[in-house]
């Protein structure tokens, strides 16, 4: 039908990519008169590499150099529609429709007032401070829950019992959407409100872990709401936390190796046992965390030979007894 037809070419020419980036609060540094560069905002970006996201304002295109953002072996990139499609995990049509509604061809624009730094023609709407500080908002509770989550062979092979899977709400999601075909892991804030699902690929699909756009893991400690008392084991990942918990110990996870200020606030325990991976990055993070946390807490290091999620309950108990 005619009313459902969208002129993709006109949208790509009409909508300034820089202005769309500003609406997503993407902060970039200017390289020259037509180029911008900074940290990649895409949900697919999982590496720690910086300044891989590049924008050419003249051509109204973008691309990311990071391997984690590659699509079919090629670097991720494209036009303004491609960017919204990647950020929202939607179809090209849905992305174009969203842009056409916010930036209509004629009539009164529905977009908000242009950010400071916008040129009169709207061609450059990205505010680029010399040392940009990202705005991190609180995670909002989800208005939905995923249905038909089921225990699966992947969890069994990782040593996660059906009882533990049920306790954490983790399981295979067969439905539609960005988490389709993944093992999903509910993430709650410190008050127990469901704020996100993490999706773990089980068929080699990249990225290995997928988090929804707009979710700030720096605002959350995984499983914090379920842990009471003065003692806790601090680990890196979701499955580490499940393994340590199933072995009978209170446990929370960083969902990585870095500790944000907000996560440090949530670590309101007198005694903390650090049980990070035995690899070089894990041990480097352990040394950094000891120095940081020892100022306010009694901290002990748990020495492991691999990853906590690959240890048996008996091995975990033994390691924690010796720490």
Residues of the chain falling short of pLDDT 70:
1-5, 71-73, 105-136, 323
Instruction: State the fold for domain 2-102.
Output: DNA Primase; Chain A (3.90.580)
Cα distances (angstroms) measured from residue 212 to each of 43, 44, 100, 198, 302: 7, 10, 23, 7, 32
**How far is Cα 153 from Cα 209, in angstroms, rounded to an integer?**
18
pLDDT value at position 113? 35
Residue-level pLDDT at 280:
93
| Predicted pLDDT of residue 106 | 52
Please name the CATH architecture into which domain 224-323 falls: 3-Layer(aba) Sandwich (3.40)
User: What is the topology classification, in CATH, of domain 136-220?
Assistant: DNA primase DNAg catalytic core, N-terminal domain (3.90.980)
- Secondary structure of 232-279 as H, E, C letters: EEEECCHHHHHHHHHCCCCEEECCCCCCCHHHHHHCCCCEEEECCCCC
Per-residue pLDDT, 134 = 45
Domain boundaries in the chain? 2-102, 136-220, 224-323
- pTM to 2 decimals? 0.60
Q: What is the pLDDT of residue 117?
A: 37
Which residues, other chains included, contact 225 with Cβ-Cβ below 8 Å and sequence gap of 6+?
188, 189, 190, 191, 192
Q: Please tell me the predicted confidence (pLDDT) of residue 108.
A: 39
81, 95 Cβ separation under 8 angstroms? yes
Confidence (pLDDT) at 191: 96
How confident is the model at residue 132, as a pLDDT?
43
* Model pLDDT, residue 323: 61
């Amino acid at each position: 039908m005619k009313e459902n037809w969208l002129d993709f070419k006109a949208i790509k020419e009409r909508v300034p990519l820089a202005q769309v980036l500003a609406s997503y609060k993407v902060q970039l540094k200017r390289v020259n008169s037509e180029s911008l560069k900074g940290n990649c905002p895409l949900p697919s970006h999982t590496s720690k590499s910086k300044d891989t996201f590049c924008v050419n304002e003249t051509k109204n295109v973008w691309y990311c150099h990071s391997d984690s953002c590659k699509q079919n072996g090629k670097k991720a990139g494209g036009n303004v529609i491609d960017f919204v499609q990647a950020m929202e995990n939607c179809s090209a049509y849905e992305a174009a429709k969203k842009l056409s509604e916010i930036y209509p061809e004629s009539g009164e624009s529905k977009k908000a007032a242009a950010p400071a730094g916008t040129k009169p023609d709207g061609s450059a709407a990205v505010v680029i401070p010399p040392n940009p500080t990202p705005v991190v908002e609180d995670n909002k509770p989800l208005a939905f829950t995923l249905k038909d989550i089921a225990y699966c062979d992947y969890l069994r092979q990782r040593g996660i019992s059906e009882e533990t899977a049920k306790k954490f709400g983790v399981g295979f999601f067969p439905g539609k959407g960005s988490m389709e075909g993944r093992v999903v892991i509910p993430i709650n804030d410190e008050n127990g409100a469901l704020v996100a699902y993490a999706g773990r690929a089980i068929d080699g699909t990249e990225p290995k872990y997928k988090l929804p756009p707009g979710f700030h893991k720096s605002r959350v400690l995984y499983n914090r709401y379920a842990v009471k008392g003065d003692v806790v084991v601090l680990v890196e990942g979701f499955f580490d936390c499940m393994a340590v918990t199933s072995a009978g110990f209170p446990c929370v996870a960083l969902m990585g190796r870095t500790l944000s200020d907000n996560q440090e606030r949530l670590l309101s325990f007198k005694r903390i046992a650090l049980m990070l991976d035995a690899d070089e990055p894990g041990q480097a993070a352990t040394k950094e965390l000891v120095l940081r946390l020892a100022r306010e807490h009694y901290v002990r290091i748990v020495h492991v030979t691999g990853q906590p999620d690959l240890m048996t309950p008996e091995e975990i108990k033994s390691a924690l007894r010796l720490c």
